[in-house]
Amino acid sequence: MYKSHSVLRGNEIHGNPFFYANGPLNAIHSSQSDPLIESNTIYATDPNGNIDAIYHSTTEPATNLQTVIRGNVIFGRLEGEFHTGGPTHLICQNLIIIENSFSAAVMITGGDSGLKIYNNTIIGSGFNVQHDATPSFFNNIVAFANYSLDLPLSAPMPEVRYNDFWQCGQINDEFKTNGNIFVDPRFANSTNYNFQLLPDSPCIDAGDPAATPDPDGTRADQGAFYFDETYQGWLQRHFSPTVLADTNAQQTVWGAEADPDFDGAPNLYEYFCGSDPLVSDSELQRLSLKADGTNSQLTYRRNKHVVGVTNELQCADVLPFWNPASFTEQTVGDFGDSLLIQATIPNAGKDVQFFRLKVGLAP
């Protein structure tokens, strides 16, 4: 592309590492352009590192050019210069995989602060900045890389915040703060290229608090694939699209009041507790009660990632007359994806009390 305003969306694009008269062929080559490159699968794996999956160059500031590289699966290097005098260039929500041992995943060879690199999952290599480029690099996951950030000594420092670097090479001390973490991101199945986050991933809600929230309305996650914390997202993780499309199965299998594993806990309550609706595990959802002459203590599990659900602890002296309970609570256990909560309710002067935890979908 040269001086082009192209939109490349939904394609499968291959580079060619073999040499022709004019050299090897990048999968996408853009010069003096402002392309939107979105939702493509791009193959440019080269054991010799001679080609780029995407090469982009704007060699001088341009007030009317904005490049957006978003939501792609990229096998190979993304390289280029990103100068701006107007709209900010964006590299976001991409899965970038390097399968040789030395190429950078993202190589910025020049530019200024008008480039934001965020919410990408970068596997097998890291982020290389050359010359005077000072992009913002935030909410990314870089994993299994020979290096994480490679900077020349004379370069101004880019802004690096709220990223997860896991099993990467040495990283500068100045990047070990500012919200950056160095923990296992807990991918669903990295061996099979599934880089979705598991429910106990530390990257959930770990992005920059000032960044745009995730589509479910929660704090931004790190990486290319946000973890949908809503009840609908939970359903999609546990039931296939075929099952969810079967309206006849709503009452018995996937509906909020259904109990497909016959453990006494309907699906909505399983979501609230963080348990599996297809595994009979009633011990995980059960309210346990201890009481003395002063207080009653109820213990229960609560999913860390609950969105759009109400819950109310209720008590009754005489059934069925339930009222909201007055209580204090504390966390007494952490299971990664859920917490163990202990609620303390005064019971002085009570001979008999009944308790329940009422869970419902928010209006």
Structural domain boundaries, residue 143:
7-227
Domain-located, residue 151 = yes
For residue 70, the model assigns a pLDDT of 97
Domain-located, residue 194 = yes
Same domain, 70 and 187: yes
Same domain, 79 and 111: yes
Closest Cα partner for 221 from 159, 139, 307, 117?
Answer: 139
For residue 358, the model assigns a pLDDT of 95
d(CA 171, CA 168): 8
- Which residue type sits at 116? K
Same domain, 290 and 201: no
d(CA 302, CA 304): 6
**Cβ distance 69 to 6 under 8 Å?**
no
For residue 113, the model assigns a pLDDT of 64
Domain-located, residue 1 = no
For residue 127, the model assigns a pLDDT of 83
d(CA 187, CA 221): 13
Same domain, 289 and 154: no
Conformational region of residue 313, where left means phi above 0, alpha means psi within -120 to 50, and beta covers everything else: beta
Q: Is the dihedral of CA 171, 175, 176, 180 positive or negative?
A: negative
Q: Into how many domains does the chain fold?
A: 2
Q: Which residues of the chain have pLDDT under 70?
A: 17-24, 59-63, 84-86, 101-102, 111-113, 131-132, 152-156, 170, 172-174, 282
d(CA 243, CA 140): 34
Burial 41-69 (b: 16+ CB within 10 A, else e): ebbbbbeebbbbbbbbbbeeebeebbbbb
**Cβ distance 175 to 149 under 8 Å?**
yes
- Which residue type sits at 297? Q
d(CA 71, CA 41): 9
Last residue of a domain, one of 181, 212, 227: 227
For residue 46, the model assigns a pLDDT of 77
Domain-located, residue 313 = yes
Same domain, 264 and 214: no
**Alpha-carbon 94 to chain mean position:** 12
Same domain, 205 and 328: no
**Cβ distance 49 to 19 under 8 Å?**
no
**φ/ψ (deg, to 5) at 284:** -70, -30
Same domain, 210 and 73: yes
Same domain, 247 and 208: no
**Cβ distance 124 to 98 under 8 Å?**
yes
Same domain, 143 and 292: no
Domain-located, residue 2 = no
For residue 141, the model assigns a pLDDT of 97
Same domain, 204 and 233: no
Same domain, 255 and 352: yes
Domain-located, residue 97 = yes
Last residue of a domain, one of 227, 248, 268: 227
Tokens in use for 130? Answer: 């050359």
For residue 175, the model assigns a pLDDT of 72
Domain-located, residue 29 = yes
Through-space distance between the first and last CA atoms of the chain, rounded to whole angstroms? 49
**Cβ distance 295 to 347 under 8 Å?**
yes
For residue 62, the model assigns a pLDDT of 59
Last residue of a domain, one of 197, 227, 257: 227
**Cβ distance 127 to 172 under 8 Å?**
no
For residue 109, the model assigns a pLDDT of 78
- For residue 362, the domain's CATH number is 2.60.40.10
Same domain, 91 and 195: yes
For residue 121, the model assigns a pLDDT of 97
Domain-located, residue 154 = yes
Burial 145-167 (b: 16+ CB within 10 A, else e): bbbbbbbeeeeeebebbbbbbbe
**Cβ distance 242 to 249 under 8 Å?**
no
Q: For the residues of 101-145, what is the DSSP string, one character each?
A: SS--SEEEEEE-S-EEEES-EEESS-EEE-TT---EEES-EEES-
Closest Cα partner for 75 from 43, 50, 49?
Answer: 43
pTM of the shown model: 0.88
